Structure 1
Amino acid sequence: MNKFSTIALPLACISLIALAGCASTAPVPYVKLNSAPQLQPNSQKDADKTPYVYSSNANWMDYSTIVMEPVTIYNGPDHQFGDLSEAGKQELANYMDTTFKKVLSARFRIATNTGPNTLKLKLTLTGAGTNTAVASTVTRFDLAGMPYNVVQSVRGKEGIFMGSVSYSVEIYDATSNQLLKAFVTKQYPNAMNIAATFGSLSAAKTGIEKGADALVAQLK
């Protein structure tokens, strides 16, 4: 390999990595959501992950119980599933259902019937990206990918060739059915989370876990 090739190859790799990072897509308002008319652009610092929000002046401490509807898989034309199989979508929806119930149970009593002091939660899986086999792991170690991913890790941004999950959250007063809070969000692992690169859906599942923890924190 000549001197030019020795220099050009790493530069080409870095350029491809940068393009991969720039190609990341953010959630959209999703026209078929019930809350779509109320969603507004988020002006807060978390807008890159949660670009559309709606919030009332609800006092979350007034609520001690939550009813969680089965997770819905979004079928609108503006979904962000790419070529993810129906089986993959269902696997993520099932994982979301189990994970959110488990995490929410630390803050609320999980119920099946509406009543006073009760919230109703509707989660809709709207998109997902899968890990790129081999590349998602290798680029956490090689000279071209690791520096980029380290920077992304510090910034709290997405790593390259790593999957993610997008979904909507709609929270209602269970008695009045008034919408109290809604948002669409994209969650993903830390860019240097090597464990989340093994398996095509592991990064998306890690994103679900992060999203569940974040929601409980918001409802305290």
Structure 2
Amino acid sequence: MLKSIKPQHLLLAVLCTILIGCASVTPVAYSGLASAPYLRPNQQDDSGRMPYRFAPQTEWQKYTRLIIDPVTIYQGADNQFGDMQDTDKAALASYMQTEFAEKLRSRFEPATEAGPNTLRLRLILTGAKTSTPVLSTFSRFDIAGGLYNVTQTVRGKEGAFTGSVIYAVEIYDSSSNRLLSAYVTKQYPNPYNIGASLGSLSASKTGIEKGADALVAQFK
């Protein structure tokens, strides 16, 4: 198979790696977050998906109810939305609200008031990137783009010209308002999730779905 790959295709793949790597956004510990003083580099994560975290030992099993605050869109100067339109940010925040509520309902009873055994979840959308129309899908089939995406799949990284979403999660004990857990995460689809490459926000929405599943797993 390698003999069929022409040198120019390899060169294009290398250029693709360099260009897309330069365009990739690495999340930061956003200074405007309430949890910012607690966040530390996550030494247990080498994927880049959760670079900052605050995770003291917590007995999650005693919590049975959950308040989900309205998703907020981060306004700090260190946001990572680039030139994304406000309408797209609002669409992602709305999708996040619905998706997390639906997924977490499998673990918690929804609540609206603070009380015993009740958590409060705050989700802050801090950055996002749209997929590049046409190129996002085409790069999955083009030889040079295909080589890049195969490499990214193995590494667990984002695909070529693909959108992503970055957000912060803060979890509080609703009665004491004590911060129990917080993290910043970047989520994106598998490079060969073709459906997620269609539409400018599809990849970001897929990232939100993956993030919601990961949070539910944290509580089990």
**TM range, smaller chain:** over 0.9
The amino acid that maps onto 1:147 is L
* 2:218 matched residue in structure 1: 218
* 1:20 matched residue in structure 2: 19
1:61-119 residue CA offsets vs partner (Å, 9 max, x unmatched): 01000000000000000000011100000000000000000000000011111111000
1:127-174 residue CA offsets vs partner (Å, 9 max, x unmatched): 001101111000101111112112211221111100000000000000
8 Å CA contact 2:13, 2:147 repeated in 1: no
Q: What are the within-5 Å matches in structure 2 for residues 86-165 of structure 1?
A: 86-165=86-165
Cα distance, 1:45 vs structure 2: 3.1
Distance 1:211 1:158 in 2: 14
Distance 2:184 2:45 in 1: 15
Superposition TM-score, scaled by structure 1 size: 0.94
* 2:185 matched residue in structure 1: 185
Cα distance, 1:12 vs structure 2: 4.6
Cα distance, 1:20 vs structure 2: 3.2
The amino acid that maps onto 1:56 is P
* 1:3 matched residue in structure 2: none
The amino acid that maps onto 2:85 is S
Q: Give percent identity, aligned residues only.
A: 55
Over 6 Å off, 4+ runs: none
Structure 1 residues 11-20 or 146-155, which shifts more? Answer: 11-20
Distance 1:200 1:175 in 2: 40
SS in 1 for 2:143: coil
Cα distance, 1:19 vs structure 2: 1.3
Flag structure 2 segments of 5+ consecutive residues without an equivalent: 1-5
8 Å CA contact 2:136, 2:197 repeated in 1: yes
Cα distance, 1:30 vs structure 2: 0.4
Q: What are the within-5 Å matches in structure 2 for residues 7-86 of structure 1?
A: 8=8, 10-23=9-22, 24-46=24-46, 48-86=48-86
Structure 1 residues 49-58 or 160-169, which shifts more? Answer: 49-58
Cα distance, 1:11 vs structure 2: 4.5
SS in 2 for 1:144: helix
The RMSD of aligned alpha carbons is 1.3
Distance 1:49 1:26 in 2: 9
